């Protein structure tokens, strides 16, 4: 469901309470034109019933009943808006695949807001599919589902039919997707570090001659946001949503378990002392700054209850937002958002385990065609013709090539989320990008610094209840606090008290014990 309240049934969350109180002044940033409590309750009922709706979806595998390769059609799910020309691209893809591999792909997209719920329901119900995208715990939960045994171990295939992609993808990515000596997916070969950026509407930056290099934390943004609020009342000065972005990245904090558990370390701290980030002075100051912005109307009023994708940015007026990316990411954001943007990196290029696990193509452990799955993934990561087709669509229909062999997009009937689908370094560059883009990416990767925590994989068995309870609390408090919609002086003490009741101190002590042992082993 577009811009839904997510799957948090049976919780009268503080962000809903605060939002309803303020709904009269809502800018309707995420197309929520008028929200009242009955509508919220209805939305939650629909979400709770969503798995039942899946029975109406076609998850069949009609052509996979044969045993010969040319009778195989692998079902592949990824995240993204189901494009008008998805079938057309799928048809052209299958012409290539039959020629190169002798089998086909049934290429399916699930909308951003529905992806995690749909994939989870498929896995729990034994849904029949072969390949899927998995990333953060909100988008396929790569790590969580790997530990549950849902993904196929690809290690046995990487020295034979998957050898070419294994050699093509940076070794640090493979380390990120290796858990307990099992390789549970194929990582996207892209930028190794994905620092946080402030993203700005280029038209307004040019109009007011703004030097965006001067602003590197949320507190520094105030004069810009005040300017836009005064001069451009139709624009949202700072567009935020309820997604679990690491707003503490500019101070080099990273999560130990996942963004759902607020236990963090400083990436540069050689001793890796684990802290509950919400007990730090930095968090109190940052959340107070955001709350001040929210009270002044700089942040969209529906931020704590909406989740927006790139498509939403095509339909709203936003001056500033945040995202993570590497070199020239502004070009990608401009393309996907539908208007020119510029960006400024506001955190260091640190290689973190969570980042190299954020974009993975996984194979269903229950697939009947593991070798065909690996062959397809190997081709996607090594064959430019296949990779460019699935990224840009069909030549002369969705794009043309310039005299410099760069892509000029001519249709929006097909769009792919580039980070979800394989090796970037064999993609053609866009006409708006420098021709040496991939050389610059390689230099960026070479210059990135590994976090002191890189390679650490927490073992959380035995703490499932604590993590579940902590996650539920963060679902309740997190969106409201991180978007500034509630007063941290009131809600931060409540959150920390509830986190302690949920067992965060015990989990913190266990993680610190594991990290200390891991550090000691590294020294040997």
Buried b (16+ CB within 10 A) or exposed e, 455-477: bbbbebeebeebbebbbebbbbb
CA separation for the pair 242, 308 (Å, rounded): 9
The answer to whether the CB of 483 falls within 8 A of the CB of 299 is yes
The pair of three-digit structure tokens given for residue 90, joined into one six-digit string: 């799928």
CA separation for the pair 192, 168 (Å, rounded): 14
Beta bridge partners of 151: 364
**Is the CA virtual torsion 489, 490, 493, 496 positive or negative?**
negative
10-residue mean pLDDT series, the chain (524 residues): 32 37 36 36 35 36 44 95 95 98 97 90 89 90 91 97 97 92 96 94 97 97 98 95 91 94 97 98 98 97 78 72 89 80 95 90 97 98 98 97 96 92 96 92 92 92 94 96 97 98 98 97 84
Domain-embedded: residue 514? no
Q: What's the pLDDT at 58?
A: 39
Domain-embedded: residue 370? yes
Q: What's the pLDDT at 50?
A: 37
Q: What's the distance, CA 251 to chain centroid?
A: 20
State the pairing for strand pair 196-201/341-345.
antiparallel
- What is this structure's pTM? 0.76
Q: What's the pLDDT at 25?
A: 35
Q: What's the pLDDT at 13?
A: 41
Mark residue 422 as left, alpha or beta (left: phi above 0; alpha: psi -120 to 50; beta: remaining). Answer: left
Give a three-class secondary structure readout of 128-149: CCCEEEECCCCCCCHHHHHHCC
CATH number at residue 415: 3.40.190.10
Q: Which segments within 53-111 are labelled E, that is strand?
A: 73-79, 104-110
| Per-residue CA distances from 324 to 344, 350, 509 (Å) | 10, 12, 30
Residue 317: CB atoms within 10 Å: 18
- The vertex-334 CA angle with 331 and 337, nearest 5°, equals 145
Closest CA to 86 of 367, 394, 307, 363: 394
CB-based contacts of 21, cutoff 8 Å, min separation 6 = none
Domain-embedded: residue 192? no
Domain-embedded: residue 171? yes
Q: Which domain holds residue 61?
A: 57-186+362-439
Mark residue 513 as left, alpha or beta (left: phi above 0; alpha: psi -120 to 50; beta: remaining). Answer: alpha
Domains of the chain: total? 1
Output the DSSP codes for 375-394.
HHHHHHHH-HHHHHHHHH-S
Domain-embedded: residue 423? yes
Domain-embedded: residue 162? yes
Q: What's the pLDDT at 312?
A: 55
Domain-embedded: residue 19? no
CA separation for the pair 25, 22 (Å, rounded): 6
Domain-embedded: residue 178? yes
The answer to whether the CB of 266 falls within 8 A of the CB of 454 is no
Q: Is 426 helix (H, G, I), strand (E, B) or coil?
A: helix
């Amino acid at each position: 469901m577009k811009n839904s309240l997510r799957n948090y049934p049976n919780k009268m969350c503080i962000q809903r309470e605060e939002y309803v109180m303020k709904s009269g002044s809502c800018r309707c940033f995420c197309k929520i034109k008028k929200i009242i409590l009955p509508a919220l309750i209805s939305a939650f009922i629909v979400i709770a019933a969503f798995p039942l709706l899946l029975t109406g979806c076609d998850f069949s595998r009609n052509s996979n009943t044969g045993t010969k390769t040319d009778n195989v059609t692998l079902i592949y799910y990824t995240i993204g808006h189901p494009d008008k020309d998805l079938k057309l691209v799928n048809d052209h893809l299958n012409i290539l695949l039959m020629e190169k591999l002798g089998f086909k792909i049934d290429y399916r997209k699930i909308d951003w807001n529905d992806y995690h719920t749909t994939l989870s329901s498929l896995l729990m119900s034994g849904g029949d599919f072969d390949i899927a995208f998995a990333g953060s715990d909100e988008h396929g939960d790569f790590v969580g589902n790997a530990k549950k045994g849902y993904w196929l171990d690809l290690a046995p295939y990487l020295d034979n039919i998957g050898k070419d992609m294994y050699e093509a993808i940076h070794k640090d990515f493979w380390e990120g997707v290796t858990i307990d000596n099992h390789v549970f997916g194929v990582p996207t070969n892209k930028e190794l570090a994905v620092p946080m950026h402030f993203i700005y509407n280029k038209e307004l930056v040019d109009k007011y001659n703004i030097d965006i290099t001067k602003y590197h934390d949320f507190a520094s943004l105030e004069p810009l946001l005040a300017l836009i609020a005064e001069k451009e009342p139709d624009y949202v000065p700072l567009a935020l949503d309820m997604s679990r972005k690491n707003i503490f990245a500019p101070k080099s904090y990273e999560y130990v378990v996942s963004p759902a558990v607020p236990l963090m370390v400083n990436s540069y701290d050689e001793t890796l002392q684990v802290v509950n980030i919400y007990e730090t002075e930095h968090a109190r100051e940052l959340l107070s700054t955001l709350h001040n912005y929210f009270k002044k109307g700089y942040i969209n009023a529906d931020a704590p209850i909406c989740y927006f994708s790139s498509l939403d940015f095509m339909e709203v007026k936003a001056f500033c937002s945040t995202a993570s990316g590497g070199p020239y990411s502004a070009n990608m954001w401009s393309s996907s958002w539908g208007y020119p943007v510029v960006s400024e990196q506001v955190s260091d290029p640190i290689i973190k385990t969570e980042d190299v696990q954020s974009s993975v193509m996984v194979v269903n452990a229950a697939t009947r065609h593991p070798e065909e799955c690996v062959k397809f993934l190997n081709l996607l990561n090594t064959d430019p013709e296949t990779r460019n087709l699935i990224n840009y669509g069909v030549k002369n229909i969705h794009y043309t090539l310039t005299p410099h062999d760069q892509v000029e997009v001519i249709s929006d009937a097909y769009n792919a989320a580039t980070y979800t689908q394989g090796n970037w370094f064999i993609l053609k560059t866009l006409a708006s990008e420098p021709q040496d883009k991939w050389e610059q990416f390689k230099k960026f990767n070479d210059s990135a610094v590994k976090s002191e925590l890189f390679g650490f994989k927490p073992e959380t068995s035995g703490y499932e209840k604590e993590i579940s309870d902590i996650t539920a609390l963060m679902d309740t408090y997190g969106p409201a606090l991180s978007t500034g919609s509630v007063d941290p002086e009131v809600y931060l003490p409540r959150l920390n008290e509830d986190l302690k009741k949920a067992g965060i101190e015990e989990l913190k002590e266990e993680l610190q014990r594991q990290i200390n042992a891991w550090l000691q082993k590294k020294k040997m």
